[in-house]
Structure 1
Amino acid sequence: MTPVQSACIPLFLKNKDVAAEAVTGSGKTLAFVIPVIELLLKREEKLKKMQVGALVITPTRELALQISEVLETFLKRFSQFTQILLIGGTNPIEDIEKFKAQGANIVVATPGRLEDMFRRKSEGLDLASYVKSLDVLVLDEADRLLDMGFETSLNTILSYLPKQRRTGLFSATQTQELEKLVRAGLRNPVRITVKEKGVADTCTQKTPSRLANFYTVCRPEDKFNKLVAFLRQHKHEKNLVFFSTCACVDYYSRALETLIKKVDVQCIHGKMKNKRNKIFANFRKLKSGILVCTDVMARGIDIPEVNWVIQYDPPSCASAFVHRCGRTARIGNHGNALVFLLPMEESYINFLSINQKCPLQKMSPISDVVDVLPKVKAMALADRAMFERGMRAFVSYVQAYSKHECSLIFRIKDLDFGSSARGFGLLCLPKMPELRGKVFPDFIPTNVDIDTIKYKDKNREKQRRKMLEEQKNEIRTARKGYVRQQAWSKQKDKKVRKKIKAAKRKHEDSDVDQEEMNELLNDTRLLKKLKKKKISEDDFEKQITGGSRSKTCGSSGEDD
């Protein structure tokens, strides 16, 4: 057994609540899977088909799938128990039918789908009544469950569960929010902390001891070139490349597919729905390849024989750095990790060493670096979809950078937007608040008219053309309306000018009193106000006719 297993299993079997913190890749899954099965076997009253005896909650569907596979290998020997996997990306109606048909003594689930199942009483599934016999609750990667905003869902789920149960919280890092959960959900918990010794006996580190952790510093416009050069040199190995956003994953994975030949490049992120499970399963089977991903793959995921974990963008949360690195060097194996940093971010090294107990060493310069950005631009010119992916990726990168937790190191004010845009291989800068009113002499936009870039997908291009034509028609219609208003204005203008000319002729022929001249001047002022849209047409008409009436009444009064 690993240290965390030898510490947790006996305590769990003695009906203790456990809050375990252990370095990533230390075997935490078996530390709760084995006690779960043992406790269910020792029950005095055997579980019925529909009774849920154990519940395992995880933050991501990939981790849930992995735990389900581990459980499956054990349950082959214990056919009296059944399990069900409740995760997003599947049809909830099918999950309900499966639960009714097969039952489930052990449920492995993500919080969102599990909460949804509790609320589906109208569809013939009263899950709340089936969990009354629950013996064990396990929250795997418990701190991540809270980080991802599942606190409300967890509170809802806990309200359905019996209080007389065993609870286990497992995580690689402890947070203040997790401490609150421990105090609220566990009764007299036993705290277990398993850490690996660093080089010095006095320094404990949170990353595996056989992990070689490197960093490299490069300018924004050179960053992607160095990544491509590095991956080409390690194309026969298994590599994970982490980016900060889903849009960056979509964009850079397409670029890497073209630029790195004869390598299986796959991508995975949180906004994918049905494809995630298949991609994850396929990549685990590969001997070599590249998986481009977000932090959805940072926690608890066990991918065999990962040689390099590359952090192209440092994570927004410092604790996630440790979890990313932990996808390699698992269970005593050797592994490597590399993080790319900009010159202004170099102080992040000291921060990780002190705050996260994660020392890094500088990597020797990457050799054979070639400028691949012209090829990236050519891809954008050849397909509008690629051009739009690049724009979205840049916007999402800037937004993620502005929300970084280590804002004293990752300062948005210090980010060189022009050089970063060049590093993305953009044809032009997107319109966004962060760039408003700024000039970027380092960035030279392409001479090509962006509107002429076509989609490779003919149907998509046809729809775009149709939409552009509709927009042009709307503009034409609006312009016609504007011309009609101009014509009306000219007609009014002619009427008033005729009136003034007639008055002048009258003035020349006979003496016109001062009051009449004032009226004419007033009409001229009203016309100017109408042209400037300071008064409406109705007000103009009323004041013109009203002035004439008052003049007439005044004259008749004097005559009387």
Structure 2
Amino acid sequence: MNKKVIMKTNSTQIKPNTSRKDDSSFSFNFTKKSKTQPKGTVFKKKTLKNNDNKREGNDESNKNMFQDKFKSGYVKRKQRKDKLLVKQGVNIEAKDRNQNQKKNFSLFTDKKRDFYVDSKKGESISEVVFTKGTKFNDLGIHKHLVSNLEKINFNVLTNVQEKSIPVLLEKKNALIRSQTGSGKTLAYAVPILNRLLELEPRLKRTDGIQVLIVVPTRELALQTNEEFKKINTFQWIVTGYLCGGESRKSEKDRIRKGVNILIGTPGRILDHVLHTSALDLSKIKCVVLDEADRLLDMGFRKDILSLIEKIDSSKIHSDYNPIEMLFQKSQNDKKVTNKEYQTILLSATLTKDIAELADLTMKDHVSIDALDETQNVNENDFIIPNTVTQECLIVPIKHRLFTLSSMIVSKSKKNAKIFVFMASTHMVEFHYELFSNHLVNMPKNRGRQKTMNFNGENVVVFDDSDDESDEELVVDVEFFKLHGNMDQKERKDVFVRFKNARKGVLICTDVAARGLDVPEADLIIQYTPPQTDKDYLHRIGRTGRAGKSGIATIFLTPEEQEYISYLNNHKVFLKKKDTQEYLRHLCDVMREKDVEEAATALQRHFENVVNKNGVLKKSACFAYSTWSRFYNSYSSSLKSIFNYKQINLGHYVTSFALTITPTEVSGIVRGQIGKTEKTRLNKKLANHADDESKLKQSKKRKNLSVSTSEYSSGLESLKKKSKMN
């Protein structure tokens, strides 16, 4: 016999009453399971009659009209619908059983939608990482610096290093464009250290800041500092970093002791420039603006220009010499300035904003492009390292959660390091908690099914009772999370642990898309498509670094397939992958023979866990809410592809392991936000105008102006002191 699968439910059972007096009068018994009432309790019998004396039109025409509505299927309530079905000879219990069966396999009842957009086969514009095989020995740099590079296996130059280092050794200003992972940090670190080593007399830490390196994120500041420490074994050259989240007091102490190479984010550097007297910019010999496109995207344009202006003014004032000014004025009226400093600007893309920033921050600069000059490149073309293989998965919305799980299970068997990019902080938090607690560990009783005979058919009933106290390790992988709401200490610890781990999964937002160097990263998963072209480039740039190969996969729903054509127009051609390649790994995890049954069992497991855990359920609701805001904020160029008004929100709720409606989710989110208290401002730091005391004063002034005569002085009258008896 064929097996059918149903879920155990507590639905209302309806039993028809076979006793009928005539065609216009029939009744039903309603039986409902209840905790207080035993099974099969019969509630009050409800009878629907057409001969009610209170209604008007008690004639034969009204009776016929009432019956015609039944025949035409005109029903408004479930009771009338069930009565119509009984009249037509339909067994309601069998219908409910079929609905339960469909509900159980609702994840796979949708018709499979094939590709209607084919990825064109073309040649992508790729940037070659290594070319001629030039070595650092051939550059004529300091021998001790070459020895340090060889100790960490940096022997052969990358393409961008080969083109940039000779120019930078000549102390020229440069605008460098190269893809992420091509070795841009060493491209400017080697010339800078070589220049400081050649100083006579030898540089001391008390000489102050010689090099200033500005980066967009805290993680990149930390990473750049580590890169300098690897090749800088010279104790008299001191490196340090400044970034948000660190103690200002400890940073000031570091600056007072002396730092020669200072690395930091724009806001924190400018803060110390304005408030730390020990920070002297007059001796700077080189300024580096790394990831300039990201600096502009994050709104640091004003901070960068203010910082450059402070450096220029500090150098002019440091050379103030009246006698020399008079002498030069008598010559050719030349402006007196200190020795010019070198400016290096690096970016993964070249746009009009980058070109404008280069014109404002430096003069007579050299433009260096790591791309082969023979390739014809337009402004809209994406340039990607040739070591990255790009793939796409067309996944139905309801399949997203267990498909992502299957990819993690599959790749963890190969000791892979995986980046999973998501839309929001709440999405990262929810999936991190769900996977690290309920994918890694599974109940031991999973896969056990109960078979029972129901109306002559073998029916398999899933056992939903997961005993969380009796679990076992199923997936041997460690999960990490990284987003902007984490404090600096925690973010630093996560980055270091993930980089040093043998394998792992980093669930993150786009805060990890820029500059993070994890050479062992094997796979990049874009679980939510990026909102900008730059985000796409920088996300996939986390793999295929320093000549190593990697894979970048993007999740798309059938409704989002036009994004493939969008990428084709930018000279990006994706390889289509079949989800079955990953889903088959769930059979071992869930102890099921069939792929669909294994995927359904994992989805039900996640849903049961979320329903039982109130904290995790709220986290899922907030994750869905923040995702919906993210999805509704795509730019106009991508709005037609990622159209919020045309997607099935109910299916997306399922992808967060929720069994409630989107309306119920928004109600939970609004109720939770309403309970949170408003943040109280520190009165000592508050300088806003809507302070309560100021509002009260303004009200008093208004009342005073109304009640005061035009001949009055406006001053309050002095109150006479009462004499003591």
Q: TM-score range by the shorter chain?
A: 0.7 to 0.9
Q: Provide the aligned C-alpha RMSD in A.
A: 2.8
Distance 2:209 2:639 in 1: 45
Q: Which residue of 1 aligns with 2:654?
A: 422
Contact 2:221 2:265 in 1 (8 A): yes
Tell me which protein shows more helix as a share of its residues.
Answer: 1
1:378 and 2:558 correspond: no
Contact 2:286 2:341 in 1 (8 A): yes
Q: Which residue of 2 aligns with 1:322?
A: 537
Contact 2:420 2:507 in 1 (8 A): yes
Secondary structure in structure 2 of the residue aligned to 1:266: strand
In structure 1, stretches of 5+ residues that fail to align are 437-449, 456-463, 468-560
Secondary structure in structure 1 of the residue aligned to 2:547: coil
Identify the range of structure 1 (280-289 vs 368-377) with the bigger mean alpha-carbon deviation.
Answer: 368-377
Q: Which residue of 1 aligns with 2:213?
A: 56
Q: Which residue of 2 aligns with 1:105?
A: 260
Matches within 5 A, 1:290-439: 290-355=505-570, 357-366=571-580, 367-368=583-584, 370-371=599-600, 372-405=602-635, 406-429=638-661
- Alignment length (residue pairs): 433
Flag the 1:322–1:389 CA change in 2: closer, same or farther, 3 A: same
Secondary structure in structure 1 of the residue aligned to 2:385: coil
Flag the 1:192–1:430 CA change in 2: closer, same or farther, 3 A: same
Distance 2:479 2:259 in 1: 37
Aligned match for 2:399, one of 222, 229, 232: 222
Distance 2:612 2:540 in 1: 36
Distance 2:301 2:481 in 1: 28
The higher relative CO (CA closer than 8 Å, separation ≥ 6) is in: 2
One-letter amino acid of the counterpart of residue 321, structure 1: Y
One-letter amino acid of the counterpart of residue 2, structure 1: T
Q: Which residue of 1 aligns with 2:274?
A: 119
One-letter amino acid of the counterpart of residue 221, structure 2: A
Secondary structure in structure 2 of the residue aligned to 1:328: coil
Offset from partner CA, 1:435-457 (integer Å, 9 cap, x none): 89xxxxxxxxxxxxx89xxx9xx
Aligned match for 2:439, one of 259, 271, 276: 259
Contact 1:238 1:306 in 2 (8 A): yes
1:186 and 2:362 correspond: yes
One-letter amino acid of the counterpart of residue 346, structure 2: F
Offset from partner CA, 1:5-49 (integer Å, 9 cap, x none): 011111112121111111221111100101111222344576551
Q: Which residue of 2 aligns with 1:81?
A: 237
Distance 2:373 2:393 in 1: 25
Secondary structure in structure 1 of the residue aligned to 2:192: helix
TM-score (norm 2): 0.57
Q: Percent identity over the alignment?
A: 30
Offset from partner CA, 1:454-489 (integer Å, 9 cap, x none): x9xxxxxxxx9x99xxxxxxxxxxxxxxxxxxxxxx
Distance 1:243 1:142 in 2: 24
1:172 and 2:348 correspond: yes
Distance 1:431 1:58 in 2: 42
Secondary structure in structure 1 of the residue aligned to 2:272: helix
C-alpha deviation, 1:239, in angstroms: 0.9
Offset from partner CA, 1:288-312 (integer Å, 9 cap, x none): 1111011111112111311111110
Contact 1:120 1:126 in 2 (8 A): no
Q: Which residue of 2 aligns with 1:534?
A: none
One-letter amino acid of the counterpart of residue 56, structure 1: I
Q: Which residue of 2 aligns with 1:237?
A: 416
C-alpha deviation, 1:382, in angstroms: 2.9
Q: Which residue of 2 aligns with 1:523?
A: none
Q: Which residue of 2 aligns with 1:247?
A: 426
Aligned match for 1:72, one of 189, 208, 229: 229
One-letter amino acid of the counterpart of residue 432, structure 2: S
C-alpha deviation, 1:430, in angstroms: 5.6
Q: Which residue of 2 aligns with 1:157?
A: 307
C-alpha deviation, 1:381, in angstroms: 2.6
Flag the 1:201–1:138 CA change in 2: closer, same or farther, 3 A: closer
Distance 2:556 2:165 in 1: 41
Identify the range of structure 1 (317-326 vs 380-389) with the bigger mean alpha-carbon deviation.
Answer: 380-389
Secondary structure in structure 1 of the residue aligned to 2:519: coil
Flag the 1:18–1:202 CA change in 2: closer, same or farther, 3 A: closer
Flag the 1:44–1:353 CA change in 2: closer, same or farther, 3 A: farther
Distance 2:354 2:219 in 1: 22
Offset from partner CA, 1:301-349 (integer Å, 9 cap, x none): 1113111111101111112111111111112111111100011211111
Q: Which residue of 2 aligns with 1:15?
A: 171
One-letter amino acid of the counterpart of residue 300, structure 2: F
One-letter amino acid of the counterpart of residue 523, structure 2: W
Offset from partner CA, 1:234-268 (integer Å, 9 cap, x none): 11311111111111111111111121332101110
Contact 1:244 1:316 in 2 (8 A): no
Secondary structure in structure 1 of the residue aligned to 2:477: coil
